[in-house]
Amino acid sequence: MRIEYERMVEVFEKILASRGLDADDASLSARIFADNSLCGVISHGANRFPRVIDYIDKGDIDVTAKPETVFATSLFERWDCKRGLGFLNAAKAIARASEMSDESGIGIVALKDNNHWMRGGTYAQLAAERGYIGICWSNTTPNMPAWGAKDSRIGNNPLCIGIPRKSGAPFILDLAMSQYSYGKLESTRLAGKKLPYPGGFDEEGRLTDDPASIEKSKRVLPFGYWKGSGLSIALDLLATLLTSGNSVMDIGGFDNEVGLSQVLIAINPERFSIGDLDYVVSRNLEYIKDSDPVDAERRVSYPGEGLYRTKRANQESGTIEVVDEVWNRILSYL
C-alpha cells in the first residue's frame, strides 16, 4: 500500500491532537513520523506510530509534560522531560543546542527522563540540514546481551552523527549498537524477508538471519562483537552522567521503555574557522564513493546517501510505502 505524504501527516496529526497535543506540537510530531517514512525508515515512522499511541493511551507518555531546564551554562543545558513526548523534546533540544552553538561554537542539551525519540538520525539530520554538525545518542531498556553473556543487560543505544554538505546529501550516520535495531528486525519480518547478514542468536544460541527468531530470543548481536558491546556501555554511562538521569539498568526496572537519557550536541562550523567545510566533506566522500565495488551494478555509497535517494524517489512519486496491516491499525485510532 502507498499513501500520500500529506495524507499521512493529516492522519498522524489528527490522532495526536485527539490525544491532547496542541496544534503546533501535533503538527511537528506528525511530520517527524511522516518524514521518517518518507526517508524509507518506516521502522521508526509509520510502523512505530501505533506503539506511541498505545503508550499515550496507557499513560506511559504524558502529552501535557513540558521540559524544564534544571541546570544551565553558556554551552550546556540539562532538561527534565518528565516522561513527555520523546521525539518532540529531542527535536526542540537539537534546535536549542544549535542556537547555543551560534554563540559558543558548541551547544549541548542533555535530556533526563525523556521517552523514546523514534529515529535518532532525525536529530542529526535536522542539525546537518541547517548547517550544523549534529551528534546525539540515547540509552534504551536492556535489550542486548553484553559480549559473552546470554541475558540482556545493556542497550542497543543508538549513536547518530550528521555533517552538513551543500553540494550533495549530508553525511548521516545512524548507528544502533546492535547489528540491526529492533525496528529493523520488525520491518524485515513484516516484509517477509531475511536479514542481509546474521543479526543475532536464536533460542538455541545459533547465529541467524531470521528476524523473528531473534525477536523471540531477544539476543541481538552487538555490532563488532565486543566492540559494540563496549561502546554501548560507554554511551550509557555518559548519558546517565550528563543527564543525571536513568541508566539502562534503571530503565530495565520500569514496566516499559520510558524515562530514557539522551544527549544532543550541535557544533557550528563557522565558529571554528575550519575552512571550506563543503570542499573537505565532498572531497572525502567522493573519494570513498569511487571505491571498487564488490557488486559492479551497485556503486559504493556513504551513510545518509541512500536515505536521501529514497526521500527524493518518494517525493517524486508523491506516495510512501506502508505495510497494509500497520496503516489499517493506525486508521483504527481515528
Active site residues: 44
Which amino acid, 148? G
Q: Which residues of 160-169 are buried (b: 16+ CB within 10 A; e: fewer)?
A: bbbbbbeebb
Q: How far is CA 36 from CA 59, 224, 306, in A?
A: 25, 26, 13
The residues, any chain, with a CB within 8 Å of residue 202's CB and separated by 6 or more, are 208, 210, 213, 214, 216, 217, 219
Cell of 209: 538471519
